[in-house]
Structure formats: C-alpha cells, structure tokens
Amino acid sequence: MSFSISGDKLAVVGADPNHTIVIYNAKTGSFLSQMKGSTSVISAIQFKDDSEFVTVGPKHYQFCQFKNKSIKSKKGIFGKNNNKLTCVTFKGNYALCGSMNGDIQIWRGNRCEKNYPIHKKALDAIFVNPTYVVTGGRDCMIYLLDRATFDKLSSINLKKICIDSYAPMPRSVCLNIDNKRILVGTSGSEICEFTCYETKFSGKSHWKYESIIKSHYCPNKKGNNQVWGLGVYKDDD
C-alpha cells in the first residue's frame, strides 16, 4: 500500500488473481477507483505525487495516472535491463527500483533509463531523502549512497554485526531526519537500529548496533511463518 504525497489518497494492491489496485479516500475511507493490476505478483506500489504512482514486481513495471475517478496505465519498457523488480521509491520525477540482480534501476515515466550495480544479490529495500539513498539487499548488506551519483559512502554488514539475528537480510530501511540513525527491518521479523555520529561518512565509519524488537521467525521460505499458537503463563506474583 502507499499514501499519496498529500496523504489524501491510499492505494492498495489485492491478493486476488488480478492483483486489483484500489484507491481510497484516506480521510473518509470511501472508494475512489480500481483497476486490474497484473496476473503476475506485484511486489510494491508507490505514489509519486497525488495522481501518479508505480507498481513493480517480477516481469512487471506499470506507470499509472489517477484522474477523474479513473486509472490509466502504461506497461514498463525494460530494454536489456533485469525485469524482476522487488521494490520502488521516488527521487523527484524518477522512480528508483530494486532488482533481483542487485541493481538500482532509474525509471522516468514507463521507461528504464539507467541502472547502477549496488548489491551482489537482490535489492529489497530503498529509502531516499534530500541527501542520501539507503539500500538493503539479500547479501545482508546496507549501503549509504550519495543521492546524486549513487557512489557508496558507507556500508553495514548485518551478517557480521547482527550475530544474534535469525535472518539478517534487510527488508526495509529508513534514515532519520538528521542522517545519524538507520532503522532496519529484517527477514527474521526483527527491527534494529544503527547509529553513526561522524560528520562525514566513509568506508571506515563506525555504526553502533542496537536490537530493538525480535519476533516470530521460521526458516521456511515457502510458507508465511504464521503464529499458530498462543498461551498464557500463570504467574502467581
């Protein structure tokens, strides 16, 4: 799901065979419009502003415009780039997409214009602010990138640092407003935080690690790792 920039609209993707896209009025909950998304899986949806949004997934990129209670869409033109996308966010007018081969793809409208190799495995998380781009991949790495050039400024190896993690592959990343703390959600249903107070980032930057939440996880990649049982422990105190 994704909120529009103003917060007035909410776009959601269904789990039905057509992965139906529905837009709601976020303040009233009323229905605004819907369209068939794709018979393929849609991994992510992201608003660019209050009318344009993008959906991505395996062999799927769709540029959509919401106007006059209807949605018009254009299929993505990949060219020779990897067509298995995992996540998306926006940097101005450009959509930044993560791909299964670890690249960041730069899209304008419905066309892929450029790609940057970042991770050795799939890139599952991207965050953008006015100064930096933060990425997380299945190689258990987090990279802090220059927003303009996509040069790597600093890195965090979760496999080496988060030794108590069940599955230290980042699935979401977020950099706080003063660019000192990165909040990470992992495949192991964990939330952790990395803090660095250095004025200039480099390959030698030290990131302090703190585990915040640990949750349920089972190394069964074919299932949903659901919680099937719950009980109350009787404590006389």
- State the pLDDT at residue 126: 97
CA–CA separation, 234 and 138 (whole Å): 41
Name the pTM for this structure.
0.88
- State the pLDDT at residue 223: 58
From first to last of its 237 residues, the chain has per-residue pLDDT tens of: 999 999 999 999 999 999 999 999 999 999 999 999 999 899 999 999 999 999 999 999 999 999 988 999 999 999 999 999 999 999 999 999 999 999 999 999 999 999 999 999 999 999 999 999 999 999 999 999 999 999 999 999 999 999 888 899 999 999 999 999 999 999 988 999 999 998 888 888 999 999 999 887 777 666 566 666 777 777 766
CATH entry, 120-221, from 2.40.10.480, 2.40.50.140, 3.40.50.720, 3.40.50.1820: 2.40.10.480
Task: Name the strands in the sheet holding 70-75, side by side, starting at the edge strand that comes first in the sequence.
Answer: 44-47, 52-57, 60-67, 70-75
- State the pLDDT at residue 24: 96
Domain boundary assignment for the chain: 1-117, 120-221
Q: Which residue is it, tokens 């993505």?
A: 76
Q: How far, CA to CA in Å, does 131 sit from each of 80, 149, 150, 167, 178? A: 30, 11, 11, 29, 10
**DSSP-assigned beta bridge partners for residue 185:** 172, 191
- State the pLDDT at residue 58: 94
- State the pLDDT at residue 226: 66
- Within 10 angstroms of residue 36's Cβ, the number of other Cβ atoms is 14
According to CATH, the topology of domain 1-117 is Methylamine Dehydrogenase; Chain H (2.130.10)
- State the pLDDT at residue 227: 66
Token pair recorded at residue 99: 């791909």
Q: How far, CA to CA in Å, does 41 sit from each of 15, 20, 49, 85, 139? A: 9, 11, 24, 10, 23
- State the pLDDT at residue 224: 60
CA–CA separation, 117 and 147 (whole Å): 15
- State the pLDDT at residue 35: 94
